[in-house]
Structure 1
């Protein structure tokens, strides 16, 4: 029977085999070789490990008071065929792989904004529920975010002192420093849209666990957990994604191709969507029944705003609580 350290060593080697990337120790290698190898591991990871929010959908559709804790990552499950995961899981496995290869790397917490102004009241209410990596090579820091793969494979971003615009393939990005915080933008239809903000400072295990708990249990609505179902992965020629839109109740399958342009198709056939996640994204550990549940609106009530409960709970207090739920039925209270 393997010891814990031997098993971890074995799993890391199996991870590199699964993503079709040779394992290399970079400690004493040149800056150029380190950058080339970082790019290779990054690409192989993004093209092998799809992003999906299925575990978040399970949490969302569980009663808010009885949700199981989200898992940071189980490397053994990935090796055994549990393919893909959300940002914490994808970043965690890449963090372990890069650390094992000898890179100077740490994890950092970010807040997803999706176009919201960082100073807006709505943005300030949102917890920081995104995990990214920062790799240092000869005193230069690079941003590595493996969940960006659905927009196409990208290179690590050299973090600027103030502001810098990047063009990678046919995509445009920007990092801007505002006081002690960095804002990451993506250009969409000629307009800059902020994706997330972060201090880019190291996060310890306690902080990561706390933010992971918030991702699972935050009482107000989080789009990536409570509204949509999303799968995405990078490809050698771009990327592809499958989105379930709760407003239209349609699936949107999008392919990004650097040479031929983007293509998009909408449909409402669950069977077609399930075949796509199995064949296009190699996610076959999810049953069709489970996938159907991920593409349904939540049955549990969602809070409109945070509130205090005045004890003892009487009839008036219960009515106040009901009014604060967006889709409340008597059976849920």
Structure 2
């Protein structure tokens, strides 16, 4: 998408039940509504047409109800209910085979998708290798001065949103990455002066990036532009969208990415082992065997 803003974060956390996932989402969305241009009422989306655009009231009175409906669309992936082998019903204490992934879209009632921003919130799966991280991804497309999302052009809005992502994750995760990526096109397409990031072999980073992994911190700790933040390092090259692709900023990003690549780091998530952080599935599922037979015809 042209003129797109992407802010994303990921971290190692224990897997969450359906109820815990919704509670975390509600807490985060309330803070997002209070401090950014996010427009209420907004909606939550499941994977079916029936649950494709469920309105959430401005007072959050039906947030839990609508989020549950959206969660229920993931039954084909398999829900796990501890102590109830074969029960695939979505219950408050259910875990998801693929992790709970819910998308919230602001500006409910607006017909044009480019006038709406979205945020995807993912909880870890109990299955090894599937959605190992808690994840957040915020996207705002077509934020040009004449668009309804022009409020996101203000650096304060980006700063508040990035800080919210980082602070929210530091408070609950054992490991954190947070990236603010400001591109004229999507991150898998041509960006950073035309190069295709996915073909370069290095981590995708942006003008504002938090590094929370020890191996990466060791590589970058002596680099200029790095500030101590929490237990990690914060790279902050600009808060201004208009400056995001200035030659000097692009040059710094490429230099940092090359240094990480030379150190063998191809992604910010590389080499994460949930068990090392005490967040593997068995620690949460109370030692129940990993193999779990689903029954019930779902």
The two structures have a TM-score, normalised by structure 2, of 0.27
Q: Which has the higher relative contact order, 1 or 2, with Cα contacts under 8 A spaced 6 or more apart?
A: 2
- The structure number with the bigger radius of gyration is 1
